[in-house]
């Protein structure tokens, strides 16, 4: 591991390090993660370094955002490798708390964000966004960064976080960073590790389906028909279930049938042991 990365595990140590930088007049960017880092996360760190003097990353597999039948116990964990990757990308501090540090005995508060948490992944994963909103609120208040960076791959999550930061007057600028893709278009995700080689070869169909919907919308066709076709294409390509393919307003996430304002096409579908999500932007044009 490069020597410049410090690892702390308590909120008190995190606050002490950030205060030390602040006292020197340095600005701080924050990259919350659940570890199993890939190029997408490292891009967040690099963009953070362009926008601030120091970057802090958290590595915490947050139990409250996993449903009872989800992959909490098998979620990939590789802390030593994550620390090496963060050091290599120029991150100065890794915050890796245990579950007891984040949720001590007696913990009883949940942050829920109405509106943007509903529908899409909010329907398929009940309670997921309350878990995300709660942990991100805690992390932002623990670190109090100038900037916090999140990947656009989780577009609905980004909308939830923007809303809570605004509503709760959290003094951090929330920055969305474009999705990093493999050469064949597959969005980078820690969950791609669950794909067998055969399923990995099928995975590009998800991005292709989003692009087909975008092309149809630009031709003036309706979202409902295009999304229906995209779901059928995904099943034909070997996905075994499609949770949703939908077109939403990019900012409010309100349903869209015909392009007017900037929109987002969002999809979630199941392939082998993995649930893949992806989204792209589309504008009238």
Q: What angle separates helix 39-51 from helix 79-89, to the nearest 10 degrees? A: 40
What residues between 32 and 71 interact with ligand PAF by CB under 6 A?
32-34, 62, 65
Name which of 97 and 216 has its Cβ closer to ligand PAF: 97
Question: Nearest distance from residue 271's CB to ligand PAF, in Å?
Answer: 20
Candidate ranges 9-17, 28-36, 79-87, 236-244; the one touching ligand PAF (CB under 6 A): 28-36
Q: Is 274:192 a contact under the CB 8 Å cutoff?
A: yes
Number of residues that bind ligand PAF (CB under 6 A): 10
Choose between 30 and 239: whose C-beta lies nearer to ligand PAF: 30
- How far is CA 285 from its chain centroid? 28
Dihedral (Cα; 15, 20, 24, 25), 10-degree rounding: 0
| Interaction between residue 154 and ligand PAF (CB under 6 A) | yes
Q: Which helix (H) or strand (E) holds 266?
A: strand 263-271
Residue 210 near ligand PAF by CB under 6 A: no
Which has the closest alpha carbon to 94: 38, 17, 183, 198? 17
Q: Tell me which DSSP letter residue 187 carries.
A: B
Radius of gyration, alpha carbons of the chain: 19
Active site residue 228: no
Residue (134 or 231) nearer to ligand PAF, CB: 134
Which 101-130 residues touch ligand PAF, going by CB under 6 A? none
Nearest to 65 by CA among 8, 115, 122, 114: 122
Is residue 97 within the footprint of ligand PAF (CB under 6 A)? Answer: no
Active site residues: 41
**Residues within the interface to ligand PAF (CB under 6 A):** 32-34, 62, 65, 132, 135-136, 154, 157
């Amino acid at each position: 591991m490069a020597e410049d990365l410090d690892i702390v595990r308590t909120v008190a140590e995190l606050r002490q390090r950030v205060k030390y930088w602040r006292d020197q007049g340095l600005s701080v960017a924050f990259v919350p993660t659940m570890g199993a880092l890939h190029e997408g996360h490292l891009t967040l760190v690099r963009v953070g370094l362009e926008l601030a003097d120091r970057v802090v990353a958290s590595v915490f597999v947050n139990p409250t955002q996993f449903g009872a039948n989800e992959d909490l116990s098998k979620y990939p964990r590789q802390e030593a490798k994550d620390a090496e990757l963060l050091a290599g990308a120029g991150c100065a501090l890794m915050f890796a708390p245990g579950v007891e540090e984040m949720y001590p005995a007696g913990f009883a508060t949940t942050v829920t964000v109405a509106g943007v948490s509903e529908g899409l992944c909010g329907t398929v994963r009940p309670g997921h966004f309350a878990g995300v909103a709660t942990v991100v609120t805690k992390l932002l208040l623990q670190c109090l960064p100038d900037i916090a960076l999140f990947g656009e791959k989780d577009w609905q999550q980004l909308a939830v976080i923007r809303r809570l930061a605004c509503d709760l007057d959290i003094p951090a600028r929330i920055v969305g960073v474009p999705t990093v893709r493999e050469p064949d278009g597959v969005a980078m995700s820690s969950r791609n590790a669950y794909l067998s080689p055969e399923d990995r070869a099928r995975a590009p169909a998800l991005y292709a389906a989003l692009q087909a919907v975008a092309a149809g919308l630009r031709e003036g066709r309706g979202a409902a028909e295009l999304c229906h076709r995209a779901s059928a294409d995904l099943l034909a390509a070997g996905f075994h279930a499609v949770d949703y393919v939908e077109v939403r307003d990019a900012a409010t996430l309100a349903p869209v049938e015909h392009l007017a304002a900037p929109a987002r096409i969002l999809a979630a579908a199941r392939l082998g042991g993995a649930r893949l999500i992806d989204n792209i932007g589309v504008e009238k044009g």
